[in-house]
Amino acid sequence: RETFVGDQVLEVTPKNEDQIKNLLELEAEEDLQLDFWKSPTTSGETVHVRVPFVSLQAVKVFLELQGIDYSIMIEDVQALLDEEKEEMLLNQRER
C-alpha cells in the first residue's frame, strides 16, 4: 500500500501569466512526482498540488524564488488518510 507520510498539499496563488507559466513548467517536471489536484488556469485562481515529502524542499524553494504565494493546505496527507481509514473501520464495526 502506498503511503503519503510527510506529503503536503500546497495551495498556490499565481499572480500573473508568468507565474502560471512557471507552475506549468513545474507540473511538467515528472521527477518531482507532483500531483496537481487543481491545475494552474488563470491568475488569481488557486492551484492545489500534493507534493511528496522528498520534493517538498525543491518545490518550496522554487515557489519562493519565483515570488509565487503559497500556503500549506494539508500538513500531512497520511495523517488525514489514517483518520479516514479509522472512521471507515469504526463504521464497519457499527454495521
Site residues for another protein per CB under 8 A: 1-2, 4, 9, 11, 30, 35-39, 41, 48, 50, 73-74, 77, 80-81, 83-84, 87-88, 91, 94-95
Output 27 or 58, the one with its CB closest to another protein: 27
| CA 47 remoteness from chain centre | 9
- The grid coordinates of residue 42 equal 488563470
Q: Of the two residues 2 and 65, which places its CB atom closer to another protein in the complex? A: 2
Give the shortest CB-65-to-another protein separation in angstroms.
Answer: 25
Residue 66 CB, nearest approach to another protein (Å):
21
Please name the helix (run of DSSP H) or strand (run of DSSP E) that holds residue 48, with its range, or none.
strand 47-51
Report d(CA 36, CA 65) in Å as an integer: 20
**Residue (34 or 63) nearer to another protein, CB:** 34
Min CB(4)–another protein separation in Å:
7
